[in-house]
């Protein structure tokens, strides 16, 4: 967001999330304690327009099914964050009505 806000040309915004396994359940947006003491931690970043994952790093253990669920949840989270990022930039640089009353 800082690069886009500063006007640095970029191919796309880059949303990122942390997905993990806590108490046997897959969770999105881990708290510090969940990250530190959970069973697995999977940070990921996505280029939304292409769908490419540009960061994927797992610490801990997940089954193949849990990993698939975590990836799906993380991509969904990244896409939701992407929409919020775009909206925040639109609102920041919105131009008000032209020729309004003085």
> Which band of pLDDT confidence, cut at 50, 70 and 90, is reported for residue 98?
low
Q: Which residue's entry shows tokens 């949303």?
A: 15
Q: CA dist 34 to 19, 23, 27, 30, 88, Å?
A: 10, 9, 9, 6, 28
Listed as own residue / partner, the contacts of 83-86 with beta carbons closer than 8 Å and 24 or more positions apart are 85/1, 85/4, 85/13, 85/15, 86/13
- Predicted TM-score (pTM) of the model is 0.85
Identify the pLDDT of residue 92: 87
> Which band of pLDDT confidence, cut at 50, 70 and 90, is reported for residue 96?
low
| pLDDT tens digits for range 35-88 | 888 999 999 999 999 999 999 999 999 999 999 999 999 999 999 999 999 999
Identify the pLDDT of residue 27: 97
Task: Give the residue from 89, 83, 14 showing the smallest Cα distance to 52.
Answer: 14
Topology given in CATH for the domain delimited by 2-91: Ribosomal Protein S5; domain 2 (3.30.230)
> Which band of pLDDT confidence, cut at 50, 70 and 90, is reported for residue 102?
very low
User: What are the residue boundaries of the structural domains of the chain, listed by start?
Assistant: 2-91
């Amino acid at each position: 967001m800082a690069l886009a806000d500063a006007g640095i040309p970029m191919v796309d915004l880059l949303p990122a999330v942390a997905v993990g396994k806590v108490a046997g359940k897959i969770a999105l947006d881990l708290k510090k304690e969940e990250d530190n003491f959970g069973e697995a931690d999977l940070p990921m970043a996505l280029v939304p327009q292409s769908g490419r994952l540009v960061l994927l790093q797992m610490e801990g253990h997940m089954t193949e099914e849990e990993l698939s669920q975590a990836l799906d949840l993380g991509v969904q989270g990244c896409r939701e964050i992407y929409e919020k990022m775009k909206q925040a930039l639109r609102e920041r640089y919105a131009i008000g009505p032209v020729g309004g009353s003085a």
